[in-house]
A and B are shown apart, each in its own frame.
Chain A
Amino acid sequence: MNTAQRMRLNRRIDSLLSIMVSLIIIIFCLIPLVWIFATSIKPRGTEFLLPMQFWPSNPTLQAYRRVLVDLQFMRPIMNSFIVSSCVTIMGLFLASLSAYAIARLRIRYKIQALFLLQIGGMIPPVITIAPTFIMIRSLGLLGTLPGLMLPHIFYNIPISSWLLSTYFSDIPYSLDDSALIDGCTHFQTFRKIILPLAAPGLFCAGIFAFIGSYGEFMLASTITMGQKAVQTVPVAILNFSVEFRLQWTWISAGIILAVLPIILLVVIFQRKVISGLTAGAVKG
Chain B
Amino acid sequence: MDVHIAIILLGIVAVFLLVVIVLFLGLTMLRRSAEITRGSTHKAAAFSVKAVGVLYLISLAAFLILPSIAVFLAAAAVASSIILGLVLARPVSFSWTEREMAIFFLIPAFLGMIALYYYPITQTVIYSLHEMRFTADWVGSLFIGLGNYIRAIRSDTFRQSFVFTIYFTLSTVTLCFLIGLGMALTTTWLKNSIMNQVLRTIIVVPWSIPLIINASMWRWLFNSEVGLAVLLKQWGMIEEVPVFLSSPGWAIHAVIIADAWKWSPLVAIFIIGALATIPQELYESADVDGANALTKFIRITFPMIIPTVIVALLFRTMEALRTFDLVYGMTGGGPGSTTETLSSIAYKHYFSYTNFGQGSAFAIVIFILIMFFSIFFISRTYKNFRFKT
Binding partners A and B: yes
Please list the residues of chain A having a beta carbon within 8 angstroms of any beta carbon in chain B. Answer: 15, 18-19, 21-22, 25-26, 28-33, 35-36, 39, 47-52, 54, 94-95, 97-98, 100-108, 110-111, 113-120, 122-135, 137, 139-141, 144-146, 150-151, 153-155, 157, 161, 165-166, 169, 173, 185-187, 211, 214-218, 222, 233-234, 237-238, 240-241, 248, 251-252, 255, 258-259, 262-263, 265-267, 270, 273-274, 277-278, 280-284
Interface centre among B12, B116, B190, B388 (most CB of A within 10 A): B116
Q: Are A278 and B5 in contact (CB under 8 A)?
A: no
Please report the C-alpha to C-alpha distance between residue A266 and residue B200 in the assembled complex, in whole angstroms: 11
A interface SS class: helix
* A274 in contact with B200 (CB, 8 Å): yes
Identify which of B187, B206, B374, B388 contacts A104 (C-beta below 8 A). Answer: B388
Alpha-carbon distance A51/B183, docked complex (angstroms): 34
Residues of A within 8 A of B124 (CB): 127-128, 130-131
Report yes or no: A51 in contact with B234, Cβ–Cβ below 8 A: yes
Q: Which residue in B183, B226, B277, B364 is a CB contact (below 8 Å) of A25?
A: B183
Residues of B82-118 contacting chain A, CB below 8 A: 96, 98-99, 101-102, 105-106, 108-110, 112-113, 115-118
Residue numbers in A under 8 Å from B110 (CB-CB): 98, 116-117
- What is the minimal beta-carbon distance from A211 to any residue of chain B, in angstroms? 6
Top 10 A-B pairs, shortest CB-CB distance: A215-B210, A124-B322, A154-B112, A128-B120, A278-B273, A131-B120, A98-B109, A101-B105, A131-B123, A120-B117
Q: List 21 A-B contacts (CB under 8 A).
A: A25-B187, A97-B106, A108-B389, A111-B387, A114-B385, A115-B382, A118-B378, A130-B120, A134-B136, A154-B109, A154-B115, A238-B216, A241-B329, A252-B220, A259-B213, A262-B210, A263-B208, A274-B200, A278-B269, A283-B307, A284-B273
Query: Which of B151-159, B282-290, B355-363 interfaces with chain A?
Result: B355-363
Find B108's partner among A98, A187, A263 (CB 8 Å cutoff).
A98
Cβ-defined partner of A169 (8 Å) among B329, B347, B371, B387:
B387
CA A2 to CA B28, docked complex, whole Å: 82
* A278 and B378 alpha carbons, distance in the complex (Å): 15
| B270 interfacial by beta-carbon distance below 8 Å | yes
Taking a contact as CB atoms closer than 8 A, the residue among B1, B200, B203, B270 that contacts A145 in the complex is B1
The answer to whether B74 has its CB under 8 Å from any CB of chain A is: no
Give residues 315-343 of B contacting A (CB, 8 Å). 315, 318, 321-322, 324-325, 328-329, 343
The CA-CA distance from A98 to B371 in the complex, in Å, is 24
Closest to B325 in A: A217
B202→A26 contact, CB < 8 A: yes
Tell me how far the C-beta of B310 lies from the nearest C-beta in chain A, rounded to whole angstroms. 10
Is there contact, CB below 8 Å, between B113 and A154?
Answer: yes
Interface segment, one of B46-54, B169-177, B191-199: B191-199
Q: Given A35-B220, A262-B210, do A132 and B226 touch, yes or no (CB 8 Å)?
A: no
Interface residue tally for chain B (C-beta within 8 Å) = 111
Most chain A beta carbons < 10 A, residue from B318, B322, B387, B389: B387
Inter-chain CA distance A223–B333, complex, in Å, is 22
- Across the interface, do B210 and A234 meet the contact criterion of CB distance under 8 Å? yes
* Interface contact tally, CB-CB below 8 A: 326
Q: Which residue of A lies closest to B112 (CB)?
A: A154
Interface string of B221-244 (1 = CB under 8 A from A): 100011010110010000000000
Asked if residues B347 and A113 are in contact (CB atoms below 8 Å), the reply is: no
Contact across chains for B221 and A32 when beta carbons are under 8 A apart = yes
Assess the A237–B117 pair: CB atoms within 8 A.
no
- A157 and B381 form a contact (CB under 8 A): no
Residues of B with C-beta under 8 A to A233: 210, 213
Residues in B lying within 8 Å of A, measured CB to CB: 1, 5, 8-9, 12, 96, 98-99, 101-102, 105-106, 108-110, 112-113, 115-121, 123-124, 127, 136, 179, 183, 186-187, 189-192, 195, 198-213, 216-221, 225-226, 228, 230-231, 234, 261, 265-266, 269-270, 272-274, 277, 307-308, 311-312, 315, 318, 321-322, 324-325, 328-329, 343, 346-347, 350-351, 356, 359-360, 363-364, 366-367, 370-371, 374, 377-378, 381-382, 384-389
- The 8 Å CB contact of A251, one of B108, B109, B216, B274, is B216
A126 touches B366 (CB 8 A): yes
Q: Is the CB of A222 within 8 A of B351?
A: yes
- Once the chains bind, are B116 and A132 in contact (CB under 8 Å)? yes
B273 close to A274 (CB less than 8 A): yes
In the complex, what distance in Å separates the CA atom of A47 from the CA atom of B210? 24
Known: A21-B186, A122-B370, A173-B388. A161 touches B109 (CB 8 A): yes
Residue contact B8 to A25, C-beta cutoff 8 Å: no
CB distance from B353 to the nearest CB of A (A): 12
Among A47, A110, A282, point to the contact of B308 (Cβ < 8 A). A282
Indicate if the CB atoms of B311 and A281 lie closer than 8 Å: yes
Q: Does the CB pair B210–A214 fall under 8 Å?
A: yes
Taking a contact as CB atoms under 8 Å apart, the answer to whether A215 and B212 are in contact is: yes
- A154 to B381 CA separation, bound complex (whole angstroms): 22
Q: Given the complex, which residues of A lie within 8 Å of B343, measured CB to CB?
A: 124, 126
The residue in chain A whose Cβ has the minimal distance to the Cβ of B268 is: A25
When chains A and B are docked, how far (Å) is the Cα of A30 from the Cα of B370?
Answer: 31
Partner of A127 from B98, B363, B384 at Cβ < 8 Å: B363
B residues less than 8 Å from A144 (CB atoms): 1, 5
| In the bound complex, CA of A151 to CA of B115 (Å) | 9
Is the beta-carbon distance between B213 and A52 smaller than 8 angstroms?
Answer: no
Are B106 and A98 interface neighbours, CB within 8 A?
A: yes
